Amino acid sequence: MRTWQSFLAAGALVGREIEHHLKQEGLSHTQYEVLVRLSEAADGAVRMTELADALYTSKSGLNYQVTLLEKAGLARRESCPTDVRGVLAVITDAGRARLAEIAPGHVDTVRRALIDALTPAQQKMVAEGLGEVARRLADR
């Protein structure tokens, strides 16, 4: 019970800190993660279905967030050249620039809220333990 309650409390409180920072920057956490994933892709584009899977979100929820990013000029959608049914999310130059502006503050927030609260040994244990949980659930 202690593990569960600690997980719930820490997840909610760390999430609150991250959401607060990103809200001040005009983005949701999902929008920020979309921009990160797109910026990490070799051509700045990822299929929407793959993006939804990578972010552990619904396709409709992702659609909504990408629509908001499009309205802000930070991303766009394109047809997939290899599959007529596929749609790509693509980061724009403005999206890359906005991500570069926001990323240092995001890293500082994550470090302050989570990383700095743990010793290196605790960081390793948390990463390994939660990584195992994610692997087991993702394999279902």
Q: Residue 45, SS3?
A: strand
77-114 pLDDT, tens digit per residue, is 999 888 888 899 999 999 999 999 999 999 999 999 99
pTM of the model: 0.90
d(C-alpha 15, C-alpha 29), whole Å: 9
* H-state helical runs in the chain: 2-24, 29-40, 48-54, 59-71, 93-113, 120-138
> For the chain, what percentages of helix, strand and coil (3-state, to nearest 5) are there?
70, 10, 20
pLDDT, mean over the chain: 95
The mean per-residue pLDDT over the stretch 10-30 comes to: 96
Q: Residue 72, SS3?
A: coil
pLDDT above 80: residue 139: no
